[in-house]
Amino acid sequence: MRYLLPHPDAVADLSDLDVALYDGTQPIPENVDDVELYAVPYGIIDPRLCEPITRMPRLSVVQTVTAGYDHVRPFLRPGLILANGRGVHDAATAELAVALTLAARRRLPDFVRAGDEGRWDSGWSRGLADARILIVGYGSIGAAIERRLAGFEVEVSRVARTARPGVRPISEIANMLPHADVVILSTPLTPETVGLVNAEFLARMADGALLVNVSRGRVVDTEALLAELERGRLHAALDVTEPEPLPAGHPLWYAPNVLISPHVGGLTAALSSRARRLLVDQVRRHAAGEPLANVVVGP
């Protein structure tokens, strides 16, 4: 086989090529010596799904369906091309970023908990209209978040590793943090972004500000965030945590002013069809000798 993919519909669409299915739930095919493109199965990040890379001597391309690819890097050898799932999760992750922001700013967790106890517990909330939103990491997901915020009458600022019109460099973030009511993290996990949100970062955020993380848990220093939450100074809405999965009994579960979802940013009905289109397109490009999309490592 030349192509090993995790999506049965994509395999069916490519039946004219030498394609096989491996989605991580069944044993990997015994002979992977001829695999040239391997798409890592989607799901809980598990090194066992990346390990086959080391046993494919003719492999030239590793494809992820995830936007993040930090879990694959340790298995790459020189000369391999790595392409990610840019675009597959933009809509779903942006939806969740806005949902978490709205839920936290409108105190929905408080109202749900009161309702579970049969209490009518009304009260004011900050809301979203007129809020100043800072998006940290302005790639395709960051842009998708802004598009979905467009109708909420907010003011959006943007920072990214590379400055461009309308997007300021990450080096200027310290001066921007005190003016943001909501900081949304959509940056990839890289050596530069590990621990980006540390005690100093959080201290510069305005009193009462909300931190929303739909990127990776390791972007945030959990202990530093816990200190701010327990002081009652900041709020947080987190789809990702460090550690992850967050173990039972971890103090982050019990911290005040925090809303946690279990890394479900991309898990909607839109995933399957978009992953299928990406995989089919990439394999067709590879078979035709055309440039691949979404290359993040390699020539």
**Residue 135: per-residue pLDDT:** 98
Burial per residue of 122-133, b for 16 or more beta-carbon CB atoms within 10 angstroms, e otherwise: eeeebebeebbb
- Residues 174, 34 share a domain: no
Measure the CA–CA gap between 35 and 3, rounded to whole angstroms.
Answer: 6
- Residues 194, 82 share a domain: no
Which is catalytic among the residues 263, 274, 276, 286? 263
* 61-64: strand order across its sheet: 19-21, 3-5, 37-40, 61-64, 81-83, 295-297
Assess if residue 174 is contained within a domain. Answer: yes
- Residues 28, 57 share a domain: yes
Helix (H) or strand (E) holding 103: helix 90-105
For the chain, 299 residues long, the average pLDDT of each consecutive 10-residue run is: 94 96 90 95 78 95 90 93 94 97 97 96 95 96 97 97 95 97 95 96 98 97 98 98 96 97 92 95 97 91
Count each helix (H run) and each strand (E run) in the chain, helices first: 10, 13
Exposure of 257 in the CB half-sphere (CA atoms within 13 A) = 20
- Residues 135, 66 share a domain: no
Per the annotation, the verdict on 164 as an active-site residue is: no
Assess if residue 154 is contained within a domain. Answer: yes
Which is catalytic among the residues 244, 250, 277, 285? 244
- Residues 96, 57 share a domain: no
The domain total for the chain is: 2
**Residue 42: per-residue pLDDT:** 84
Measure the CA–CA gap between 241 and 245, rounded to whole angstroms.
Answer: 7
Domain of 84, CATH number, reads 3.40.50.720
Assess if residue 183 is contained within a domain. Answer: yes
Measure the CA–CA gap between 259 and 105, rounded to whole angstroms.
Answer: 11
Assess if residue 265 is contained within a domain. Answer: no
In the structure encoding, which two tokens stand for residue 92, read together?
Answer: 């779903």
- Residues 229, 198 share a domain: yes
- Residues 157, 236 share a domain: yes
* 168-169: strand order across its sheet: 168-169, 155-160, 132-136, 182-185, 210-213, 235-238, 258-260
Assess if residue 145 is contained within a domain. Answer: yes
Cα 187 from chain centroid (whole Å) = 8
Per the annotation, the verdict on 117 as an active-site residue is: no
Helix, coil or strand: residue 178 = helix
- Residues 93, 42 share a domain: no
Per the annotation, the verdict on 228 as an active-site residue is: no
CB 258 within 8 A of CB 229: yes
Measure the CA–CA gap between 213 and 192, rounded to whole angstroms.
Answer: 17
- Residues 233, 160 share a domain: yes
CB 35 within 8 A of CB 254: no
Assess if residue 236 is contained within a domain. Answer: yes
Nearest to 206 by CA among 184, 167, 168, 176: 176
**Residue 68: per-residue pLDDT:** 82
- Residues 250, 185 share a domain: yes
- Residues 119, 20 share a domain: no
Which is catalytic among the residues 7, 86, 89, 216? 216
In the structure encoding, which two tokens stand for residue 157, read together?
Answer: 């600022």
Predicted structure pTM score: 0.89
- How far from 187 is each of 68, 178, 191, 214, CA to CA, in Å? 9, 19, 12, 8
CA angle 204–123–108, rounded 5-degree value: 70
Task: Determine the structural domain holding residue 79 and report its residue range.
Answer: 2-88+270-297
Assess if residue 228 is contained within a domain. Answer: yes
**Residue 172: per-residue pLDDT:** 96
- Residues 219, 95 share a domain: yes
Find all residues with CB under 8 Å of 263, minimum gap 6, and list them: 239, 240, 241, 244, 245
